[in-house]
Structure 1
Amino acid sequence: MPINRSRGRNVHIYDANDQTTVLGGLKLANGVTNANFYSMMEILIVFTSNFFLRDEGNTQIEKDDHPLQPGKYFIVAADPFNVNNEPWLVRTISHATGTCTHTFCDAVRSRDRRCVVSGREVLEADYDNWTGFEAAHIFPLAYESYWNDNNYNRWITISPADPTKGSINSVQNGLLLDSSIHQEFDGYQFSVNPDDNYKIMFFSPDSRGLSGKHLDQRLLNDPQRPADQLLRWHFRQAVLANMRGAGEPIFEHDFPPGSDIVGDILHGPKAAERMEYELFSRLGA
């Protein structure tokens, strides 16, 4: 069964005029400040006027670098507001393979040579041994049609070595990650906020102590670095997936031999969207 993102939340969000209906919430991780929380609220909620947040003690929360505290928070605004209905693109663990991704993987590996989130080095990169490391698409390859329809290639200035593979496979849409960190990135369990000095923000328990740290500076100094617009897109998706309402499901991906994968998908949430994603990711459809 899919994992419920809302379980374990210790931050809860309400409209000050309706203190019984939960609008969303957050599992608080290291490094989340009051200012970070305000920036998340500006993604989560569509405001038509200025707003501020107050806590259970009726104290206004300032936009500062003090650590956010667990508890209930109430939105105070002069005008009505709504929860953002921006689409969240269903995404599971990537299994994309094929000729389209070969040049992408090569470019990302050549640029990074380490997990750019944890800093863990690929010790045998010179021997082409990348065991435990994976080239991750920031914007998922399965949604290339969505990429094209919304002209996201305008953010790309470095074409793939083979331009026929599509701008979505540019090195600027990639990060080299430790395999387990890649799973968490694809699941939006953490993201990178380019508007806060590329802070790594976890939305789930962080066993490695990475939350609140920053993306590898060597990557940021590289002329082939990822496009900020794509990191910003991923961060928005992570906020919506983890904080809106009860949150989006985290899908199972480790199916034992003999499992009825299709049956599990069809009887779970967002069946049509997930089936489309899985077919592309697993079969390169």
Structure 2
Amino acid sequence: TTEITSAGNPNLGEETAKSWTIGAVLQPSFLSGLTVSVDYYDIKLSNVISSVAPQQVLNNCYDAASLNNAFCGLFQRDPTTKFFVQGSLQDTSLNFAKRRARGIDSDVNYRFNLPEDSGTVNLRGTLTYVVQRDNYPFIDEPNRPDQILYELGDPRWAFNISAQWRKDKLSIGYQGRYIGKMSVDVIENIKSVGGRPPQNADFATINYYPAVMYHDLTAEYAISRNYTVYGGMENVFDRLPPYQLTGSGEGSGIYDNRGRYMYLGVKASF
């Protein structure tokens, strides 16, 4: 176990952000019940305050072009070997260079009545498309990106769709969730980022976790004014996390690890 000192950093500066969004909402008169919204966002965060794991402090110190950097200042080095001196590491927060996020969010909702009083249908879809998601943690190279997009937990494409039919006391619904492909390791290993060539292009025979789609079904029936029976089935096709991921924790938690799940219940009001 490596001894460390946990402390604040009196040299921290405040974070600053510049962001702008532009969006539109469409409700065409020729198709009653349809609403479409689209939003574009662009967020730039500078002087990001973030804590750094002790091992990452050491990595960032020695991997930098010069040992004269903020990470090397968080521990002592042997004056002869320049190696880390045990017990001297300070666990604290630092100002990183910046972060950048750009993307498009869209929401489509369409509600209509079926002919011959056959009920009401509500359709909805939400879409996220990420244009850029980069961190810039290299203090000595402030314009060198660490791409987050496509890494586990941050797909480029994701969307949810739902459909619900309702008539009188009965309601039946469907929900679908799509998660786009993501790299099995840091994306810099398999593609060029920031003008640098792939760092380890042949590290694996499979570069990406595949895109997945989850399907859920629900139903509800009002027995009386005070009692309603409901039930459903989630992850109908029993999709497990790909390539033996746990489906828990950071990144991997984006996947469902419970498998097919069924439930039945009663709601009562008094």
TM-score (norm 2): 0.23
